[in-house]
C-alpha cells in the first residue's frame, strides 16, 4: 500500500512545485467565467433562466476538473517512454497499485483545482445558499475527477505517441465538455443533442454539482449520484485493465 | 562452479511479420560483466525489455535468478536494477526524492533507505546535489543518478541499456569505473548492451555479438579476435556482421525521442 501512497504523493508534489502551472491553468476558467458570465448573463436572465453566474459556475468548475484529470491520465503516454512510469512498471509493485496511486493522485490534484475555481467564482458573484450540501458537492467533484483520470489513463495505455492526443482532445474531450450542460441548460435542445447529453457521463456530474451548489439538478441528485458512481467504477476497472496490458 | 544467473533458450520476439529477436540462447554467470554488442536495430533493447519483464516474449524461455519472468514477475523484478536508455527519472523531484521513491517502491525500510541513498549518492559523487531538482541535471548526471538508483534495493543484477550513449569522455570513464567497482566489491552481475567496441572490451568479461536479432558469436574479447583472426574487436565485429548499414525500424518512441531533443536545451 505504501506504493499507492508514494505515487499519490508524487502527483501532489509535482502539482505544488509548479506555481506557474497552477496559475496558468486557472486562466481559462477565469476567462470563461468572466467573459461568458458577464457576456451572456443579461441574455440568460432575460430569457428567464435566472442568474447565469449561478448556473455557469458549476459548469466551469467541472471544466477545470475535466481538463486537469484527463491530462493527468494522458501523461502516461509521455511517462511511459521518458519518465517515471517505466521505473514503476519494472518495480515489484503490482500494476493495479500503480494505477490506483496515479489515478488517486491525479484526481486529488484535479479536485484541488476545482475547489480553487469554486473560490474564484465568488469573486465573479457566485453565492452559496446551502453550505450543508457542500460535502456532497465535493463528492461530485471527486467523481468527475476520478472518472476522467481513469479515462485518460485507459486511453493513454493504448496510444503510442502524442499525436493521438490531439484527436482525443478535439473529438472526445471538447464534445464531452460542450454537451454536458456545463454552459447551457439541457432542456429544449434538438432531439439529437439531447440524446448525446443524456449519454454523456459528465452531464450527470455537472448536474449533481450544480444541484449541490445551490442550483437545480435537472436529473435529480439521486440519479446523478448513482449514475456517476457506477460509471466511475466501470472506468476504473477498464482503466486498470488497459494499464495492465501496457508493454513498453 | 559458477551458477548461471540469467539463462535464455530460444528467446524470440515478433512484431507482426518482423522478427526483432530470433531464438536467442545464452547464459550469464553470476558475478560476471556481460555485454551484448551489436549495431542499432539488432534487437538489444528488445532483449533487455524481455529480460526485465517490460515486454512479453513471443516464444522461448527465460530464467532470471532462478525465477521465470512470466510466472514470478515480482520476484524477478526485485532481483534486478535497470538503467534505461532514456532517462526514467522524475524531473520535477529532487535527486534525493527520486531515490527515496525508488526505495519505497521496492519495499526498502526507512532507515536502510536513508543509509543506502547516502551511500549511493556519495558513490556516484552526487551527494552535494541531493536537494536539486533533476530537471537541472545534465545528461551525464542523470545517468549517474540512475545508476545510484538502480542499487538502492541491493539487487543481484544490474541491467544497463546503452549506458554511455551521448556522454562526454570523463563521465563515460566514471561510469565504467562504477560498473567495475560494483561488480568487484558487491559481486553484482552486470548485463549491458552497447554498440561501442571499447566499452564492451574495457568493461566486460564476456561478449555476445548480436545482429539482426540473432547471436552471431559469443566469448571473451580474446576468443572473438582469435575466431575471426583479427587484431581488434572492431575488426572482429565487422568480420562477423559485415559492413552494410542496418535498416532500423523506427517506432513511435524514436519519433518522441527526436521531438524531445528539439524541446530540451
Which tens digits make up the pLDDT trace of B153-173? 999 999 999 999 888 888 899
Distance CA B111, CA B85 (A): 31
| Interface residue of B75, B85, B88 to substitute, partner A, most A CBs within 10 Å | B88
- Which residues of chain A from 86 to 105 reach within 8 Å of chain B, CB to CB? 86-94
**Whole-number Å distance between alpha carbons of A148 and B77:** 31
Interface ipTM: 0.81
What one-character-per-residue DSSP string does A16-73 give? HH-HHHHHHHHHHHHHHHHHHHHHHHHHHHHTT---HHHHHHHHHHHHHHHHHHHHHH
- For residue A101, give the chain B residue with the closest CA: B105
Contact B54 A81 (CB under 8 A): no
Taking the whole predicted model, whether its pTM rises above 0.90 is answered as no
C-alpha cell at A171: 473529438
Query: What is the predicted pLDDT for the residue at B230?
Result: 83
Do B74 and A161 count as a contact with CB atoms less than 8 A apart? no
The beta-carbon neighbor of A92 closest among B78, B82, B253 is: B78
Q: Determine the straight-line distance between the first and last CA of chain A, rounded to whole angstroms.
A: 24
In the block, cell 501512497 appears at A5
pLDDT-based confidence at B76, cuts 50/70/90?
very high
Q: CA A248, CA B172: separation in Å to the nearest integer?
A: 27
The H-or-E segment that residue A8 falls in is helix A2-17
Domains recognised in chain B with CATH numbers: 4-263 (3.40.50.300)
In tens, the pLDDT along B114-136 reads 999 999 999 999 999 999 999 99
**What are B174-230's pLDDT values in tens digits?**
999 988 998 998 899 999 999 888 899 899 999 999 988 999 889 898 888 888 888
A-chain CB neighbours of B136 within 8 Å are none
Residue in chain A closest to B56 (alpha carbons) equals A247
* CA nearest to A80 within chain B: B88
Higher-pLDDT residue of B264, A243: A243
The nearest alpha carbon in chain B to A244 belongs to B54
- 3-state helix/strand/coil string of B98-158: HHHHHHHHCCCCHHHHHHHHHHHHHHCCCHHHCCCEHHHCCHHHHHHHHHHHHCCCCCCEE
Collapsing DSSP to helix, strand or coil, A10 comes out as: helix
Residue with cell string 435537472: A218
Residues in A 117-146 with any Cβ partner in B closer than 8 A: none
pLDDT of B265 above 50: no
- A41-72 pLDDT, tens per residue? 898 888 887 888 889 999 999 999 998 998 88
Q: At what angle do helices A52-82 and A95-123 cross, to 10 degrees?
A: 150
Which of the residues in chain A have pLDDT under 50? none
Asked if pLDDT for residue B66 goes beyond 60, the answer is: yes
The percentage of chain B sitting over the pLDDT mark of 70, rounded to a whole number, equals: 91
pLDDT tens-digit readout, B90-114: 988 999 999 999 999 999 999 999 9
Is pLDDT of B262 > 80? no
Asked if the model's pLDDT at residue B1 lies above 70, the reply is: no
Spatial contact of B238 and B39, defined as CB atoms under 8 Å apart: no
A238 contacts A155 by C-beta, under 8 angstroms = no
Amino acid at each position: 500500500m505504501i506504493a499507492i501512497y508514494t505515487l499519490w504523493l508524487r502527483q501532489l508534489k509535482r502539482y505544488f512545485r509548479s506555481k506557474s502551472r497552477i496559475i496558468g491553468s486557472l486562466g481559462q476558467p477565469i476567462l470563461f467565467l468572466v467573459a461568458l458570465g458577464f457576456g451572456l448573463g443579461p441574455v440568460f436572465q432575460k430569457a428567464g433562466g435566472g442568474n447565469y453566474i449561478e448556473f455557469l459556475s458549476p459548469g466551469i468548475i467541472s471544466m477545470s476538473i475535466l481538463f486537469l484529470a484527463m491530462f493527468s491520465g494522458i501523461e502516461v503516454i509521455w511517462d511511459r517512454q521518458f519518465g517515471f512510469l517505466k521505473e514503476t512498471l519494472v518495480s515489484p509493485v503490482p500494476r493495479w497499485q500503480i494505477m490506483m496511486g496515479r489515478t488517486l493522485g491525479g484526481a486529488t490534484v484535479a479536485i484541488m483545482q476545482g475547489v480553487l475555481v469554486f473560490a474564484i467564482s465568488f469573486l465573479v458573484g457566485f453565492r452559496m445558499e446551502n453550505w450543508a450540501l457542500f460535502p456532497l458537492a465535493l463528492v461530485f467533484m471527486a467523481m468527475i475527477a476520478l472518472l476522467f483520470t481513469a479515462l485518460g489513463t485507459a486511453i493513454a495505455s493504448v496510444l503510442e505517441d502524442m499525436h493521438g492526443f490531439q484527436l482525443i482532445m478535439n473529438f472526445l474531450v471538447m464534445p464531452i465538455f460542450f454537451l454536458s450542460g456545463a454552459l447551457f441548460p439541457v432542456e429544449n435542445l434538438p432531439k439529437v443533442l439531447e440524446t448525446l447529453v443524456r449519454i454523456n457521463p459528465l452531464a450527470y456530474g455537472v448536474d449533481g454539482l450544480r444541484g449541490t451548489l445551490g442550483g437545480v439538478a435537472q436529473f435529480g441528485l439521486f440519479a446523478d449520484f448513482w449514475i456517476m458512481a457506477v460509471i466511475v467504477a466501470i472506468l476504473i476497472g477498464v482503466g486498470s485493465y488497459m494499464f495492465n496490458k501496457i508493454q513498453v | 562452479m559458477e551458477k548461471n544467473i540469467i539463462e535464455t533458450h530460444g528467446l524470440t520476439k515478433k512484431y507482426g511479420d518482423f522478427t526483432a529477436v530470433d531464438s536467442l540462447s545464452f547464459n550469464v554467470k553470476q558475478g560476471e560483466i556481460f555485454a551484448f554488442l551489436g549495431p542499432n536495430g539488432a534487437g538489444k533493447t528488445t532483449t533487455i525489455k524481455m529480460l526485465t519483464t517490460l515486454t512479453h516474449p513471443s516464444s522461448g524461455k527465460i530464467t532470471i535468478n532462478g525465477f521465470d519472468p512470466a510466472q514470478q514477475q515480482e520476484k524477478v523484478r526485485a532481483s534486478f536494477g535497470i538503467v534505461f536508455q532514456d532517462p526514467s527519472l522524475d524531473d520535477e523531484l529532487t535527486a534525493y526524492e527520486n531515490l527515496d521513491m525508488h526505495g519505497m517502491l521496492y519495499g526498502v525500510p526507512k532507515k536502510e533507505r536513508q543509509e543506502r541513498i547516502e551511500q549511493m549518492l556519495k558513490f556516484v559523487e552526487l551527494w552535494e546535489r541531493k536537494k536539486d531538482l533533476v530537471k537541472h541535471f545534465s545528461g551525464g548526471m542523470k545517468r549517474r543518478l540512475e545508476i545510484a538508483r538502480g542499487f538502492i534495493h541491493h539487487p543481484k543484477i544490474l541491467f544497463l541499456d546503452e549506458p554511455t550513449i551521448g556522454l562526454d569522455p570523463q563521465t563515460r570513464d566514471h561510469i565504467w569505473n562504477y560498473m567495475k567497482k560494483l561488480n568487484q566489491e558487491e559481486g553484482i552481475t552486470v548485463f549491458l548492451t552497447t554498440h561501442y567496441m571499447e566499452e564492451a572490451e574495457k568493461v566486460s568479461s564476456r561478449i555476445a555479438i548480436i545482429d539482426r536479432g540473432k547471436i552471431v558469436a559469443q566469448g571473451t574479447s580474446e576468443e572473438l579476435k582469435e575466431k575471426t583472426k583479427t587484431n581488434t574487436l572492431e575488426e572482429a565485429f565487422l568480420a562477423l556482421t559485415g559492413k552494410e548499414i542496418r535498416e532500423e525500424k523506427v517506432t513511435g518512441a524514436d519519433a518522441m525521442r527526436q521531438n524531445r531533443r528539439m524541446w530540451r536545451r
